[in-house]
């Protein structure tokens, strides 16, 4: 948490006459949007206006959240977004650890003069004016709740705040399943339900929204899942042509990598997908126990994230990338795969 002295300073920054923006990471997920909108609604309840700016568009299954339609998507509104960041007195940076994680917003953030406040749970955060970083907490949305607690503002948590934070915690814990889900997480979830978050509505709006194209893509990928490294590593992949053929939409492949990890004996799953427009492979890693995919992705695929969930990139061909990947896992002792 921020120190008491930092909290005093942050408190003086949070006043109605200050311009406040909230930024989050490229390809925003449930926690990115949930924490950003949750903070926005909390500030609104305090009488302070803030705008959420994201680098690129986010999936439809997150667009039911209160004021999700007002999120400024920088790839469509470059001038507005860059002017707002340049003119901001306070810039909240949520659910990312480095300017390189926010696409075109990164340069604008680095040049901006406003006070930069980081709230994030990824490994190895870079420099910001105020940093609340905790890699043990399963979701940035949970950290927003802790921030509201230390500000002594739990009374300001209304239904909008509750729905957004609930969604962020639910999605980043994989439905309250992943390792860092704690008693504190569940206590906060209980509070959010009391404040008006409806678990059935939120789950159904977020997760029961499969498109036929997504299910067909899933069938395709499951049909050729490969298990290597003596049954410990699952490999999944999709080509650009397949994405086109199935009418891929943003978010359609969310969660696919988890099917690899659900195989008995598998400790690491990797999902390789050709980008629809640009020439690179987007990689998602998931793992169990102390198999550190953050370190692995940083070392080999210019990526990072968390110990058990990380992402990365490759500029090789799909087949070449997968071939290299298989070589790397064979030789890395720190993966503790045995
Ligand atoms: P996903 O596989 O869902 O894209 O990402 C898993 C986790 O790793 C998320 O917390 C995400 O923010 C992080 N992540 C994804 N891609 C990258 C990347 O290229 N670099 C870094 N540093 N983190 C990433
Ligand atoms: Mn997160």
57 neighbors 89 (Cβ within 8 angstroms): no
Under the banding of pLDDT at 50, 70 and 90, the label for residue 208 is very high
Q: How far apart are CA 209 and CA 202, in angstroms?
A: 11
Q: How far apart are CA 1 and CA 168, in angstroms?
A: 19
Q: Is the CB of 197 under 6 A from ligand 1?
A: no
98 Cα nearest atom in ligand 1 = 22
171 Cα: distance to centroid of ligand 2 (angstroms): 9
- Residue 82 clears pLDDT 70, i.e. is over it: yes
Per-residue pLDDT, 194? 98
Per-residue pLDDT, 122? 96
Per-residue pLDDT, 139? 98
pLDDT digits (tens, 9 = 90+) for 145-183: 999 999 999 999 999 999 999 999 999 999 999 989 999
Q: What's the CATH superfamily of 4-207? A: inorganic pyrophosphatase (n-terminal core) (3.90.1640.10)
Q: How far apart are CA 41 and CA 267, in angstroms?
A: 39
Q: Is the CB of 260 under 6 A from ligand 1?
A: no
Q: Which of 138, 282, 305 to mutate to test the pocket of ligand 1 (most atoms within 8 A of CB)?
A: 305
Q: How far apart are CA 145 and CA 39, in angstroms?
A: 9
User: What's the topology of domain 212-335?
Assistant: Diaminopimelate Epimerase; Chain A, domain 1 (3.10.310)
Phi, psi of 299 (to 5 degrees): -70, -40
Ligand nearest to the CA of 137: 2
329 Cα: distance to centroid of ligand 1 (angstroms): 19
| DSSP structure string for 261-303 | HTSTT--EEEEEEE-SSSS-EEEEEEE-TT--HHHHHHHHSS-
235 neighbors 224 (Cβ within 8 angstroms): no
Give 298's contacts (C-beta < 8 A, 6+ positions apart): 304, 310, 312
Q: Is the CB of 25 under 6 A from ligand 1?
A: yes
284 Cα nearest atom in ligand 1 = 2
- Residue 30 clears pLDDT 80, i.e. is over it: yes
pLDDT digits (tens, 9 = 90+) for 115-129: 999 999 999 999 999
- Residue 2 clears pLDDT 90, i.e. is over it: yes
169 Cα: distance to centroid of ligand 2 (angstroms): 8
Residue nearest to atom 2 of ligand 1 (CA): 284
289 Cα: distance to centroid of ligand 1 (angstroms): 18
Rounded to an integer, the average pLDDT of 171-200 is 96
Residues in the chain: 338
Per-residue pLDDT, 250? 85
**pTM tops 0.80, yes or no:** yes
> How, if at all, do strands 115-120 and 130-133 pair?
parallel
Rounded to an integer, the average pLDDT of 102-111 is 98
Q: How far apart are CA 250 and CA 253, in angstroms?
A: 8
- Residue 89 clears pLDDT 80, i.e. is over it: yes
245 Cα: distance to centroid of ligand 2 (angstroms): 31
Give 244's contacts (C-beta < 8 A, 6+ positions apart): 276
Q: How far apart are CA 164 and CA 64, in angstroms?
A: 10
pLDDT digits (tens, 9 = 90+) for 265-287: 999 999 999 999 999 999 999 99
48 Cα: distance to centroid of ligand 2 (angstroms): 24
Per-residue pLDDT, 337? 65
Ligand nearest to the CA of 96: 1
Domain boundaries, the chain: 4-207, 212-335
Per-residue pLDDT, 26? 96
312 Cα: distance to centroid of ligand 1 (angstroms): 7
Residue nearest to atom 10 of ligand 1 (CA): 305
Ligand nearest to the CA of 171: 2
Give 258's contacts (C-beta < 8 A, 6+ positions apart): 174, 269, 286
203, 196, 208: which is closest to 167 by C-alpha? Answer: 203
Number of C-beta neighbours around residue 295 at 10 A: 16
Q: Is the CB of 304 under 6 A from ligand 1?
A: yes
**Which residues on adjacent β-strands are paired with residue 314?**
281
Q: Is the CB of 59 under 6 A from ligand 1?
A: no
Q: Is the CB of 309 under 6 A from ligand 1?
A: yes
- Residue 234 clears pLDDT 80, i.e. is over it: yes
Residue nearest to atom 14 of ligand 1 (CA): 311
28 neighbors 47 (Cβ within 8 angstroms): no
Rounded to an integer, the average pLDDT of 82-103 is 98
Per-residue pLDDT, 334? 62
Q: What share of the chain is helix, strand, coil (3-state, %, to 5)?
A: 45, 15, 40
Q: Is the CB of 303 under 6 A from ligand 1?
A: yes
Under the banding of pLDDT at 50, 70 and 90, the label for residue 298 is very high
Residue 95 DSSP one-character state: S
């Amino acid at each position: 948490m921020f120190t008491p002295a930092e909290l005093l300073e942050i408190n003086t920054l949070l006043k109605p006459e200050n311009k406040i923006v909230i930024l989050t990471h490229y390809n925003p997920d449930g926690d990115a949007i949930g924490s950003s909108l949750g903070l926005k609604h909390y500030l609104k309840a305090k009488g302070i206006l803030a705008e959420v700016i994201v680098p690129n568009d986010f999936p439809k299954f997150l667009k039911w959240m209160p004021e999700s339609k007002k999120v400024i998507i920088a790839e469509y509104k470059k001038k507005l977004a860059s002017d707002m960041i340049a003119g901001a007195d306070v810039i909240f940076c949520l659910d990312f650890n480095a300017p390189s994680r926010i696409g075109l917003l990164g340069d604008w953030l680095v040049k901006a003069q406003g006070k930069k406040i980081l709230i994030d749970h990824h490994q190895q955060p870079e420099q910001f004016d105020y940093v609340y970083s905790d890699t043990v907490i399963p979701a940035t949305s949970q950290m927003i709740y802790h921030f509201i607690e230390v500000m002594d503002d739990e009374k300001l948590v209304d239904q909008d705040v509750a729905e957004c934070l609930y969604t962020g915690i639910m999605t980043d814990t994989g439905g309250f399943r992943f390792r860092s889900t704690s008693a504190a997480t569940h206590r906060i979830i209980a509070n959010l339900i009391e404040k008006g978050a409806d678990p059935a509505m939120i789950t159904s709006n977020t997760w029961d929204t499969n498109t036929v194209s997504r299910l067909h893509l899933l069938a395709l990928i499951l049909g050729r899942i490969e298990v290597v490294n003596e049954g410990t590593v699952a490999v999944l992949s999709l080509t650009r042509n397949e994405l086109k053929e199935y009418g891929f939409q943003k978010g359609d492949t969310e969660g696919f990598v988890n099917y690899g990890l659900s195989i008995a004996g598998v400790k690491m799953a990797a999902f390789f997908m050709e980008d629809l427009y640009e020439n690179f492979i987007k990689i998602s890693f998931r793992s169990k126990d102390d198999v550190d995919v953050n370190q692995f992705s940083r070392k080999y695929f210019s990526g990072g994230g968390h110990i058990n969930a990380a992402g990365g990139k490759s500029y090789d061909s799909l087949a070449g990338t997968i071939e290299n990947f298989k070589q790397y896992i064979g030789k890395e002792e720190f993966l503790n795969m045995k």
